[in-house]
Chains A and B, each alone.
Chain A
Amino acid sequence: MPWRVLEPLRRSPALAVGLAMVAAWLVTAAAAPWLAPSGPTVSDYGALSQAPSAAHWFGTDEYGRDVLSRVLFGGRYVLLIAPAATLIGLVLGAAIGMSAAYFGRWVDEVIMRLLDAVMAFPIVILALLALTMLGGSTGNVVLVIGLVFAPLIARTARAAALVEVRREYVQAARIRREGPLYVLAVEVLPNIRGPLVVEGTIRLGYAVFTSATLGFLGLGVQPPAPDWGLMVAENRALLTSAPWTVLFPAGAIAFVVVGFSLMADGLRDLEGR
């Protein structure tokens, strides 16, 4: 019986590799206080801008902070931001998309036109505008990423729900005089779970992508926090003299986003069969 759970992994190596990469990140981020040789903001003034060595595996930055420790602790921001933002986007997007499909007619028309207008902005531009005015903090980053993702998820939810609301079981529930909230939450939602899970996994990866980008633009958590994107931005000038200060956080971002991307790809393949 427990083998059944592993069956999808055997059928899709991409899913297995992606899952392993994401799991590796989860474990190291969670265990950062025990794994890291020092605190993320502890300076060793005897070792400024040191190249990677036995004492500092990833080297040190210009303030003598251990890059390995900063990268390990930096994983925790993403660990918090990406799932929370995706959850906000999923809840909001599913609610909007399913309502559009259920009520149809002018409600659908108005909702879709509004979503089109929001999506007329490139995501980064929208997030940049909102965060400049709200101010950069972990909470605001989560909120803004969730909000800009909602229209995209709403589209997926609407497309999936449009098929379901015409089915007999929904008609039956309507004839039983169930309210829209009940029909959508209890009858429709479980049946569009598949596309929503795939969409959610894709969005998780993009949430990591977007939060790293916002960090790089200085709009996320503020220094001296060891956010990966922020570390790349801060040490950009050291690319030629101390490349390890930039390469390791950049590599960490690459590792996590590729892990999510492989996972989403694998899930999409399984879903497609």
Chain B
Amino acid sequence: MTRFVLRRLLLLGVTLLVASVLIFLMTSVMPGNVGRIVLGPFASDASVAELNRQLGLDQPAALRYLQWLGGVLTGDWGRSLTLDTDVLPLALARLGRSLLLAGYALVLLVPVAIAAGVAAGRRPGGWFDRLASVVGLTFGAMPEFVTGVFLIVGLGVGLGWLPVQALPDEGAGLVTWLRHLLMPALSLVLLLFAYLFRMVRTGMRSELAADYTRTAVLKGLPRRRVIRHHVLRNALLPTITVIGAQLGWLVGGLVVVETLFRYPGIGSLMEYAASNKDVPLLAGCALLITGVFGLANLAADVVYAWLNPRVRHALAGA
């Protein structure tokens, strides 16, 4: 098991290294002139050259990459061009808020999607199966900001049940926080519901049709017991990997949802960096998001391996 985790960590390191090269290439090499992108088409050539010199862009790309990577590894992620602050502390503070929102969304999503998937998988083609499939398919196809707009107009403006602003006032209590964050979280939940629901439903169907299930039924076990002790354990295992894979959509969704609801997390910070051409901030956010996403995927894989006896025993022998 330890070797498995170590190997996965090493693989994550390689992936992140390649990702860092990609981020570096895109943010400092690709279209040539960062100074021009930052300052815009009307700045003088002299000031563009001066900014490029300040950013060290007159040096060879490979050297700059190594310097940048060295800075990243030692905690010096550079300075934001538009906000008078270092990139890393700002990005970390914003990341905390985003993780709160993402965690909230997952806490709502996972039990609901699993319960719906189990119920639908027990009676495929029934009214609940059809309803959940149509709802999931509809919202799963829609961009988060479209769902968010419908939620704001329906629940916020129309019915007046929920606050439209995502960030509550200073010193608000937990319940107020949760109320304010409910609509952004729901936009994410509705986006991700379909896929998880479908995986659980498929898992239920194939396990219900398996030989061991038939044996359990034939030897006279009550249906509830068969489902709880035999079917669920096998059907739910793959969903852990699915949740890990879904985190990418969740992270991408954060950029959009935080922008729509004006919630100061890492996603809206990245949107700010993009629209203000703040290149060091943009690179920092992208790197941090990729890192967190990679770690979350790793965690999902490890939990899966730990819970799956076949993998666990194979690994214990290795």
Contact = CB atoms under 8 A, between A and B. Distances in A.
Interface of A: 113-114, 116-118, 120-125, 128-135, 205, 209, 212-213, 216-219, 229, 232-233, 236, 239-240, 243, 246-247, 250, 253-254, 257-258, 260-262, 265
B83 to A, nearest CB: 16
B277 interface: yes
Given A212-B146, A262-B137, A236 B260 contact: yes
Interface string B249-289: 10111011001100000000011011101000010001001
Nearest to B146: A250
Q: By CB atoms of chain A within 10 A, which of B22, B27, B164 has the most?
A: B22
A239 B270 contact: no
B168 interface: no
The 3 closest A-B pairs by CB, nearest first: A124-B252, A261-B141, A117-B18
A248 B239 CA distance: 36
Nearest to A237: B262
Given A213-B256, A217-B259, 13 more contacts: A113-B18, A120-B290, A120-B294, A124-B252, A124-B253, A125-B286, A128-B274, A130-B26, A132-B277, A133-B26, A213-B143, A257-B143, A265-B137
A42 to B, nearest CB: 25
A250 B253 CA distance: 16
A30 B143 CA distance: 24
Given A129-B27, A129-B282, A213 B289 contact: no
User: Could you tell me the dominant secondary structure of chain A's interface residues?
Assistant: helix
A232 B164 CA distance: 16
B157 A243 contact: yes
B138 interface: yes
Interface string B7-27: 000000011101100110011
B149 A246 contact: yes
Given A133-B27, A212-B143, A240-B164, A217 B18 contact: no
B286 A254 contact: no
Nearest to A130: B26
B105 to A, nearest CB: 15
A218 B276 CA distance: 11
B140 A261 contact: yes
